[in-house]
Structure 1
Amino acid sequence: MRTSRKRDFIDAGSKKKPGGNRAFAIAQVEGTDLLRPRELALLGRALALRGEAVLLIGDDRLIPCSDWDLSTRDAKPRAYRVTIPEVGGGRSVTALAPEVLHIVTGADVATPYAGQSPLRRAAITAGLLHVLESALSEVYENAPLGSQIVPFPESPDTDNEALSRGFRGRRGSVLLRESVNVTAAGGPTPQTDWSPNTITPDLSRAMTAEHVASARDAIAGAFGVLPGLLNPQTTGPMVREAQRHLAQFALQPIAEIIAQEATDKLGASVALDLITPLQAYDQGGRARAFATMIEGLANAKAAGLSPEAIKAALAFIDERG
């Protein structure tokens, strides 16, 4: 089977700039010197936007690939034809599967060799946000925000059509139009004249702010970011908990996938740790747990418990045994 993976982007997602690449750039790597911060940052961005990344294993470094074709057997990649980006245009290289690092996330059982970005898994929400942003940009570009219409007494020399054409998209302008009330010569000015009426669009009725916020929170959730992190009223503990959640449940599993692929292709045991560099753990909780454990060991020693009994007690409280 042969398939092609050429720039599988989403229009709404191509404008986003996820921050996972910065987290991968500071990951602790053991077992290889090829996964340097630059390559890890490229990996993180590619996985966020495309759900997969391909790097050709060179003599002394990993070479990122922009496009690639692959052939499979038993749903496993067998050979690649990759495109390496160059200033004067990309060049194609053919390589076997062991010569390529292919990181895949969010894969479907029908195509286990192809990844899916979080935005593709939340395509409706991403599309909705794109439509909302486009509509709001058109409103702010063309709508006469902060402008007013002021009726004034009849003036037959005024060209209302010219006034209307010149009023489009002008901010903070005042449009003078003839009065709708006709009065006799020498009569009093109608009371509605010289009473300005704003023509700023009422976007609150369309609930655009609520829709944008809900779509943004859904997209953040697809990337593993807790929506509470984007709340203006968020607190320090919430920020720390959101960072721990992102590192432990979103980024570290991807790091394990990268480490497994690197171990299989580079011939060495590779490990990636994102939790320690990001300090994505409860330091205060660890300190309290350590103090409690020391106190418990001292009490166990004072009670005359055997090492076997202490080990059994520690295994009881540790789910891994």
Structure 2
Amino acid sequence: MGIMDLFRRGVPKSGESETRAVAMGYTADLVAARAEWLSGRSCTAELTATVQSCVSLWESGFTLADVTGTDLLDRRSLAMLARSLALRGEAVFLIRDRLLPVTDWDMKTRDGEPTAYRVSVSEVGGGRSQTVLAAEVLHVRIGSSPVTPWAGTSPLHRASLSAELLQQVEGALRDVWRDAPIGSQIIPLPDSSSEDMAALRRSFRGARGQSLVVEGVAQATAAGMNPQLEKKVEGLTPDLQRAMPAETLEAARGAILMAYGVLPALVNPATTGPLVREAQRHLAQLVLQPIALLVADEATAKLGQTVKLDVVRPMQAFDHGGKARAFGAMLQAYATAKEAGLDGASLQDAMTFIDWQE
């Protein structure tokens, strides 16, 4: 035994197993966490037209937004921000001469607030990573919980059960329309030779929606049916009406639409113009504008100047007739107050009482 043998790994004896300290399942846990951030457990609900329609509405609403106070929040960046918020619940951009979208990130926090980031920016030849301070990163989050205030959650994550139901229903309907013999029929024919019947069956094979199975009189009699009493064409199309797929699919779609703040009546074929306008106002005023305020607050804190975002005015999400009538009533009130000799303080008190602003 030489002196170098002291540094060599010992050979385990027969029947003994070598034990190593490794981080088992770390990669799998990381991939599962990313998948859960996207769409709950299934990771395929975002492939449905319902979810993509909601994401497109968010994306279009933010693209139309009026931005004041900065030139960094251009239309392209706002569109990517809206899509990331809709699917991941958070959006991260690296602040340089323009906003660079970040695909993956890790952070260090203190008192629940991020202090430093390790971000990855995508490139054609492969991404690059760098470590930056929190002041160099624009990080917008929605649906944050007190447990993880530094992370956001998407509507699909918060409604993962409804998202999974929508995926299962649409997946089941897809499988039925792909694999089921829809439109195929069983036609009773007189008996013939086995060769002729086999040739006839082969001629129908692959003709979906036509006659795929030919039943002879002998086969019908052997099955306990009297061919002389009842001769009718029997179909092989599955009876889906009892499973109520239309009602289930409509309910799942409505739940996902409401999770994104879109009124289900917007996609109803019988929807009229006034209802469409009300759905647009609901989406702009109660869903997109609060998120726009979060974006404006984050941009104001990171860019060092006051930033404002408005999605209500560009989407015309207000009652034009009502505002015109209110404007006329306000002018008439001014004229009446002037004739009555009211001073400015009294008029301002009256306007404050009815929530009118100059």
TM-score, length-normalised on structure 1? 0.90
Give the unaligned 5+ runs of structure 2: 1-29
Partner of 1:121: 158
Give SS of 1:9's match: helix
Alignment correspondent of 1:226: 263
> 1:9 matched to which residue of 2?
38
Q: What is the DSSP-based 3-state SS (H/G/I as helix, E as strand, rest coil) of the residue aligned with 2:92?
A: strand
CA distance in 2, matches of 1:169, 1:68: 53
Number of the residue aligned with 2:110? 73
Aligned to 1:206, the other structure's residue is in SS state: coil
Is the 8 Å Cα contact of residues 351 and 357 (structure 2) preserved in structure 1?
no
- Which amino acid in structure 2 is aligned with residue 295 of structure 1? Q
Q: Which structure has more helix as a fraction of its residues?
A: 2
CA separation of 1:6 and 1:199: change in aligned 2, threshold 3 A: closer
After superposition, give the CA deviation of every residue in 1:149-207 in whole Å (9 maximum; x if it has no partner).
111233350667x949x757823344311234549xxxx972433x2112211111111
The residue that corresponds to 2:10 in the other structure is none
User: What residue number does 2:302 align with?
Assistant: 265
Aligned 1:207-246 pairs, distance under 5 A: 207-246=244-283
Deviation at 1:227, TM superposition (A): 1.0
Q: How big is each residue's C-alpha offset from its partner over 1:30-77, in whole Å with a ceiling of 9 and x where there is no partner?
A: 11111100000000000000000110111x101001111111111111
What is the identity, as a one-letter code, of the residue corresponding to 1:244? R
1:88 aligns to 2:117 (yes or no): no
In the TM superposition, residue 90 of structure 1 has moved relative to its aligned partner by 1.4
Q: Structure 2 vs 1, CA of residues 13 and 78 (structure 1 numbering), >3 Å: closer, same or farther? A: farther
Conserved? CA contact 2:38–2:156, under 8 Å: no
Count of residue correspondences: 313
Compute the displacement of 1:122 (Å): 0.6
1:246-272: CA deviation from partner (whole Å, max 9, x where unpaired):
001100111111111111111111111
Q: Residue 78 of structure 1 aligns to a residue in which SS?
A: strand
Larger radius of gyration: 2
Identical positions, percent: 49
Change (3 A) 1:303 1:197: same
Alpha-carbon contact 2:135-2:302 (below 8 Å) kept: yes
Preserved CA contact (<8 Å) 1:153 1:189: no
Secondary structure (helix, strand or coil) at the match of 1:203 reads coil
Name stretches of at least 5 consecutive residues in structure 1 with no aligned partner.
Answer: none
Following the alignment from structure 2 to structure 1, what is the Cα–Cα distance between the partners of residues 180 and 108?
53
Partner of 1:154: 191
Change (3 A) 1:46 1:150: same
Alpha-carbon contact 2:101-2:121 (below 8 Å) kept: yes
1:31 to 2:69 alignment: yes
Contact map agreement 2:184 2:208 (CA 8 A) in 1? yes
* Contact 1:146/1:171 (8 A) holds in 2: yes
Q: CA RMSD in A?
A: 2.6
> Quick one: which amino acid aligns to residue 277 of structure 1?
P
Residues 225 and 246 of structure 1 are in contact (CA less than 8 Å); yes or no, is this contact kept in structure 2? yes
Distance in 2 between the 1:203 and 1:128 partners?
17
Distance of 1:222 and 1:181 partners within structure 2? 54
Query: Which range moved further: 304-313 or 91-100?
Result: 304-313
For the 8 Å contact 1:144–1:167, the answer to whether it is kept is no
Deviations along 1:82-126, whole A, 9 cap, x unmatched? 111111221111111111011100011100011000011110000
**Corresponding residue for residue 137 of structure 1:** 174
Q: In 2, distance between residues paired with 1:122 and 1:70?
A: 26
1:96-115 matches, cutoff 5 A: 96-115=133-152
Residue in 2 aligned with 1:178?
A: 216
